Amino acid sequence: MGNHSYAAGNACSVLATVVIYKTSIENSEAVQALLRCFAEDPALAAGFRLLLYDNSSEAQAPPQSATVEVSYHHDELNGGLAVAYNHALGLAVKAGIPWLMLLDQDTRVTAEYLHEVLALQPVAAQDPQIVAFAPKLAGITGLRSPAMDFIDSLHRQVILPRWRRPLIVPLDTYGLQYQRTVAFNSGAVLRTQAVQAIGGFPTAYWLDFLDMAVFHELYRHGGYLFVMHSTLEHSLSVEEDDFLERSTSLSRHRNILSAMTHYVKTNGTAWERLLHRGWLARNFFSLVVRRGGLRFAIASLSQAFTYSTRPRAAHSQSASATTATVSDGQR
């Protein structure tokens, strides 16, 4: 790992938040990786505090032998990601913790990533426009995050290939992104004050498109995303071979479409809303030829015509599947 020096010294500068759903703390890859890294490196652990936010129906006992301060919160009603993240934001504000790390339960956290987060603190201290850090996230099909804002990506449909900006950042990307760029929730590290300034995490996005909405607002308020060197492995349910065959997948697809439509209606122009309807039509044709995809294709086509929204997503806790689904239709 090499030598690392942190401006934060022994003060906690990052609240790492893992949202858990229908899994035990012992089986959460993210939680276990964090506890292992902190146990192996006390100097690293000194920079962090850990929040476990459990959306499962039954409460669990938090880890008893952790080398960092651990908070546990159980929400049996499963209020969604925005509620969980706003709870974490309130905790960070109350404790005076300047950075908020968001993690899905199955993200494979590494010590290198954690060290890089702390090593970048002095850089951020010199530039208040740095409002977020994000690693690159890789799934089954390759790099998936960070990527273009979905609204910006809609314009790719009417731009010749040679003039298109890459949908997903190249692997060697590093540093501030002055063009609007979004990252999956998981792995993102957000400046607490910046999230406060945009009013916290918007509860209109119960699950899907929450990451998109937050980064859109951070950029609108003059902030920028800093892309890290680190790359983390991250599981995406929509990339798995049997996704279209699962009983809950159609409901999830419909709710992704609903959240997507709300996002474009809220932030896009009339032209971009028209481009989005075109995207939905293209999504219909890409799905109709896939095994088990007819029902999903019909849902996309129906969304293009009705252009309706619903208030919340289905009970499927995966903070980053939104952008993955969006990307599939833009490749």
pLDDT of residue 324: 31
Pair 138, 269 in one domain: no
Q: Is the pLDDT of residue 88 over 60?
A: yes
pLDDT for 291: 84
Q: Which residues pair with 130 in a beta bridge?
A: 224
CA distance linking residue 298 with residue 80, whole number of Å: 27
223 vs 322, higher pLDDT: 223
- With both helix axes pointing from N to C terminus, report the angle between 210-220 and 81-95 in degrees, rounded to the nearest 10: 50
How sure is the predictor about 11, in pLDDT bands with cuts at 50, 70 and 90? confident
The answer to whether position 60 is within a domain reads yes
- Asked whether residue 5 is assigned to any structural domain, the reply reads no
In a domain, 67, yes or no: yes
pLDDT, one tens digit per residue, over 57-78 is 999 999 988 899 999 999 999 9
pLDDT at 318 over 50: no
Q: Do both 59 and 28 map to the same domain?
A: yes
Percent of the chain with pLDDT strictly greater than 70: 88
Do 214 and 226 belong together in one domain? yes
Q: Is residue 6 assigned to a domain?
A: no
Q: What is the pLDDT of residue 254?
A: 92
Same structural domain, 132 and 25: yes
Distance separating alpha carbons of residues 149 and 170, to the nearest angstrom: 15
Amino acid in the structure at residue 166: P
In a domain, 74, yes or no: yes
Q: Do 155 and 56 sit in the same domain of this protein?
A: yes
User: Which helix (H) or strand (E) element contains residue 277?
Assistant: helix 270-288
Residue 9 lies in a domain: no
Number of domains observed in the structure of the chain: 2
3: in domain: no
Q: Which of 238, 272, 304 is the last residue of a domain?
A: 238
At residue 198, the pLDDT reads: 98
CA dihedral (236, 304, 202, 177) positive or negative: positive
pLDDT in tens, 123-142: 999 999 999 999 999 988 89
Same domain as 137, residue 48: yes
- Give residue 222's region: left, alpha or beta (phi > 0; psi -120 to 50): left
Domain stops at, among 211, 238, 265: 238
Q: Mark whether 127 and 234 lie in a shared domain.
A: yes
**Which residues constitute the domain of residue 259?**
240-328
Q: Does 90 share its domain with 200? A: yes
What confidence tier does 182 reach under pLDDT thresholds 50, 70, 90? Answer: very high
pLDDT band at 275 (very low <50, low <70, confident <90, very high): very high
Residue 4 belongs to some domain of the structure: no
Out of 238, 270, 295, a domain closes at: 238
Work out the pLDDT band at 239, boundaries 50, 70, 90. low
- Please tell me whether residues 111 and 154 are part of one structural domain: yes
- Same domain, residue pair 132 and 222: yes
Taking 80 as the threshold, does the pLDDT of residue 6 lie above it?
no
CB 38 within 8 A of CB 67: yes
Instruction: Tell me: pLDDT of 329 over 80.
Output: no
115 with 259, same domain? no
User: Strands 99-104 and 189-191: what pairing?
Assistant: antiparallel
At 249, the pLDDT band (50, 70, 90 cuts) reads confident
* Mean of the per-residue pLDDT values of the chain: 89
Do residue 153 and residue 34 come from a single domain? yes
| Residue 203's CATH number | 3.90.550.10
pTM of the model: 0.89
